[in-house]
Chains A and B, each alone.
Chain A
Amino acid sequence: MELTKEEESALDGKQGETLALAYRTLVAIGEASDSDRLIPIEWAHLSGVNYNTIGDAGRDFLSHLSQDAKFKVKTTVNPMGFDFDSVTRYNLDDDFIENQRSIKNSYEKMGAIPSYSCIPYEIFDVPKQGTQVSFAESNAAIYANSFSGLVTNKEGAFSALASALTGKSPCSDLRDDKTRKPNLTIRMKVESPDELTYGMLGYFAGKVAGSSVALSGVNGLDKRSCKSLCAGMGTSGACGMFTFGEEEGEKIDFDKKEMQKIHDELNTSESGDLITLGSPQLGLDEIGDLAAILKGRSFKKRCMIFCPSAIKGQMRDLGYRKEIERAGGELLFDCCTCLSPLVDNKEVDSVTTNSVKGAYYLRTSNKVDVNLKSLKKIVEEETK
Chain B
Amino acid sequence: MNVKVIVKGQAKGLLLVAKNPLNFLGGIDKKTGIVHDKNHDLFGKSIGDKILVFPYGIGSSVGAYTIYSLKYNHCAPLAMICLKADLTTASGCAISNIPLVVASKNDYDLLQEDKEVILDAIKGQIS
Judge whether A55 is part of the interface by a CB distance below 8 angstroms: yes
Known contacts A28-B93, A160-B61, A265-B39; decide if A154 and B87 are in contact (CB<8 Å). yes
Is chain B's interface secondary structure helix, strand, loop, or mixed overall? mixed
Q: B69 is contacted by which of A21, A55, A153 (Cβ under 8 Å)?
A: A55
In the complex, what distance in Å separates the CA atom of A53 from the CA atom of B69? 10
Q: Is the CB of B59 within 8 A of A235?
A: yes
Which of these binds chain B: A56-64, A190-198, A252-260, A294-302?
A: A56-64
- Judge if A121 is at the interface, Cβ distance under 8 Å: no
Shortest Cβ distance from residue B49 to the other chain A in the assembled complex, whole angstroms: 17
A225 at the interface (CB under 8 A from B): no
**Does B1 reach chain A (CB closer than 8 Å)?**
no
Asked if A326 CB lies within 8 Å of chain B CBs, one says no
Are A157's CB and B88's CB within 8 A?
yes
Q: Does B54 contact A (CB under 8 A)?
A: no
- Of the stretches A92-100, A109-117, A360-368, A371-379, the one at the interface is A360-368
Cross-chain contact B39 with A31 (CB below 8 angstroms):
no
Q: Count A interface residues, CB 8 Å.
A: 46
Contact for B85 among A32, A58, A338, CB less than 8 A: A32
Which candidate, B11-19, B21-29, B103-111, is the interface stretch facing chain A?
B21-29
CA A56 – CA B30 in complex, angstroms?
10
* CB-defined contacts of A361 to chain B, threshold 8 Å: 25-26, 60
Asked if residues B59 and A234 are in contact (CB atoms below 8 Å), the reply is: yes
Q: Which of A236, A237, A364 is the one whose CB lies under 8 Å from B36?
A: A364
B65 partner, pick from A25, A58, A236, A360, beta carbons under 8 A: A58
Q: A residues within 8 A CB of B84?
A: 238
The SS class assigned to the A binding surface is helix
Q: Is the CB of A157 within 8 A of B91?
A: yes
A162 engages B91 (CB within 8 Å): yes
**Least distance between B103 CB and chain A CB atoms (Å):** 13
Contact B73 A57 (CB under 8 A): yes
Complex: A125 Cα to B80 Cα, angstroms: 40
On whether A156 and B92 interact (CB within 8 A), knowing A32-B6, A57-B69, the answer reads: yes
A60 interface neighbour in B59, B72, B95, Cβ under 8 Å: B72
Q: Is A275 an interface residue (CB 8 A)?
A: no
| Among B31, B60, B102, contact of A55 (Cβ-Cβ < 8 Å) | B31
Nearest Cβ in chain B — how far from A199, in angstroms?
14
Within 8 A of A (CB), among B88-104: 88-95, 100, 102
The answer to whether the Cβ of B7 comes within 8 Å of any Cβ in the partner chain is yes
Within 8 A of A (CB), among B30-53: 30-31, 36-37, 39
B61 touches A57 (CB 8 A): no
Q: Across the interface, do A138 and B59 meet the contact criterion of CB distance under 8 Å? A: yes
Whether the Cβ atoms of B93 and A53 lie closer than 8 Å is no
Q: Is B57 an interface residue (CB 8 A)?
A: yes
Assess whether B39 is in contact with A54, with CB atoms less than 8 Å apart. Answer: no
Please measure, in the bound complex, the distance between the C-alpha atom of A53 and the C-alpha atom of B25, giving whole angstroms.
Answer: 7
Measured CB to CB, the closest approach of chain A to B69, in angstroms, equals: 4
A382 within 8 A of partner (CB): no
Within 8 Å by CB of A238, from B6, B62, B86, lies B86
Contact at A47–B60, with CB atoms within 8 Å? yes
| Top 8 A-B residue pairs of the complex, sorted by shortest distance between their CB atoms | A57-B72, A156-B88, A158-B91, A32-B85, A28-B94, A156-B91, A57-B69, A136-B61
Known contacts A21-B95, A136-B62, A364-B27; can you find 15 more A-B pairs with CB under 8 A? A29-B85, A29-B90, A55-B30, A57-B68, A60-B72, A154-B86, A155-B61, A156-B91, A158-B92, A159-B87, A238-B56, A238-B58, A360-B26, A360-B59, A361-B60
Q: Which residues of A contact B (CB under 8 A)?
A: 21, 24-25, 28-29, 31-33, 47-48, 50, 53-58, 60-61, 136-138, 141, 153-162, 206, 234-238, 265, 338-339, 360-361, 364-365
